[in-house]
Structure 1
Amino acid sequence: MQDLFIGLMSGTSMDGVDGVVADFSAGGVHVLRHASAPFDDALRAELMALNASGPDELHRGWLAGNALMRVYARVVQDLLAQTGLQPSAIQAIGAHGQTVRHRPQQFDGTGYTIQLAQPALLAELTGIRVASDFRSRDVAAGGQGAPLAPFFHQAVFGRAGETVGVLNIGGISNLTVLGADGSILGFDCGPGNALMDAWTQEHTGRAYDDDGQWASTGRVLPDLLAAMLTEPFFALPPPKSTGRDLFNQPWFRAHLARFAGSAPADVQATLTELTAQACARDAGRHARGLERLIVCGGGALNGHLMRRLQALLPQAQVVSSADAGLPPLQVEAAAFAWLARKCVRGEALALQNVTGAGGARVLGGIYPS
Structure 2
Amino acid sequence: MSESHHHRTVIGLMSGSSAKGVDAALITTDGEDFVDFHGGLRFPYEDELRGRIQEASQHNIRLDDLLFLEREITLHHAQAVDVLKQQMGPIAESASLIGFHGHTLRHLPSDGVTMQVGNPWLLAEKTGLQVVSDFRRRDMARGGRGAPLASFFHQALFREKDFPVAVLNLGGIANLTWLGADGSIVAADTGPGCGLLDEWAQEMAGLHHDVDGQLARQGTVHQALVDEFLASPYFQRPLPKSAARFEFDHIDVSGLSVEDGAATLCAVTVGGIETAIHSMPGPLGILWVTGGGAHHPVIMKRLRERFPMVRTIDQRNLSPMTLEAECFAWLAVRSLRNLPLTIPETTGCSQPTTGGFVTP
Q: Which bracket does the TM-score occupy, shorter chain normalised?
A: over 0.9
Q: Is the 8 A contact 2:84 2:92 kept in 1?
A: no
Deviations 1:42-65 (A, max 9, x none): 222222122234241x22222211
CA distance in 2, matches of 1:256, 1:244: 18
Which ranges of 4 or more aligned residues in structure 1 deviate by more than 6 Å?
A: none
Q: Are residues 1:218 and 2:219 paired?
A: yes
Offset at 1:27? 5.4
Letter of the structure 2 residue corresponding to residue 8 of structure 1? L
CA distance in 2, matches of 1:72, 1:55: 22
Q: Is the 8 A contact 2:174 2:191 kept in 1?
A: yes
CA distance in 1, matches of 2:338, 2:67: 28
CA distance in 2, matches of 1:182, 1:323: 23
Offset at 1:160? 1.1
Deviations 1:85-144 (A, max 9, x none): 3877223100111111111232xxxx2111111111111111111100000000001000
Letter of the structure 1 residue corresponding to residue 68 of structure 2? L
Offset at 1:202? 1.4
Q: Which residue among 342, 345, 356 is the counterpart of 2:337?
A: 345
Equivalences for residues 261-280 of structure 1 within 5 A: 262-280=256-274
Offset at 1:245? 2.6
Offset at 1:310? 1.2
CA distance in 2, matches of 1:350, 1:265: 40
Equivalent residue number for residue 22 of structure 2: 17
CA distance in 1, matches of 2:353, 2:34: 22
CA distance in 1, matches of 2:150, 2:271: 22
CA distance in 2, matches of 1:138, 1:39: 29
CA distance in 1, matches of 2:289, 2:257: 29
Deviations 1:160-184 (A, max 9, x none): 1220100001000000000122101
Q: Is the 8 A contact 1:105 1:142 kept in 2?
A: no
Equivalent residue number for residue 229 of structure 1: 230
When the two structures are superposed, what TM-score results if normalisation uses the length of structure 2?
0.94
CA distance in 1, matches of 2:164, 2:126: 43
CA distance in 2, matches of 1:81, 1:33: 13
Gaps of 5+ in 1: none
Q: Percent identity?
A: 38
When the two structures are superposed, what TM-score results if normalisation uses the length of structure 1?
0.91
Letter of the structure 2 residue corresponding to residue 41 of structure 1? D
Letter of the structure 1 residue corresponding to residue 26 of structure 2? V
Q: Secondary structure at the match of 1:328?
A: coil
Equivalent residue number for residue 311 of structure 2: 319
Q: Secondary structure at the match of 1:241?
A: coil
CA distance in 1, matches of 2:13, 2:131: 11
Equivalences for residues 232-271 of structure 1 within 5 A: 232-248=233-249, 251-252=250-251, 255-256=252-253, 260=255, 262-271=256-265
Cα distance 1:66–1:157, how it changes in 2: closer, same or farther (>3 A)?
Answer: same
CA distance in 2, matches of 1:328, 1:87: 21
Q: Which residue among 24, 31, 36 is the counterpart of 1:30?
A: 36
CA distance in 1, matches of 2:350, 2:302: 37
CA distance in 1, matches of 2:95, 2:277: 37
Q: Secondary structure at the match of 1:342?
A: helix
CA distance in 1, matches of 2:310, 2:281: 13
Q: Is the 8 A contact 2:9 2:94 kept in 1?
A: yes
Q: Is the 8 A contact 1:105 1:139 kept in 2?
A: no
Offset at 1:306? 0.6
Equivalent residue number for residue 60 of structure 1: 65
Equivalent residue number for residue 145 of structure 2: 144
Equivalent residue number for residue 70 of structure 1: 75
CA distance in 2, matches of 1:309, 1:334: 25
Letter of the structure 1 residue corresponding to residue 53 of structure 2? L
Q: Secondary structure at the match of 1:42?
A: helix
RMSD over aligned Cα, in angstroms? 1.8
CA distance in 2, matches of 1:215, 1:87: 40
Deviations 1:266-287 (A, max 9, x none): 0110001110111122112215
Count of residue pairs brought into register by the alignment = 354
CA distance in 2, matches of 1:132, 1:303: 35
Equivalent residue number for residue 90 of structure 2: 85
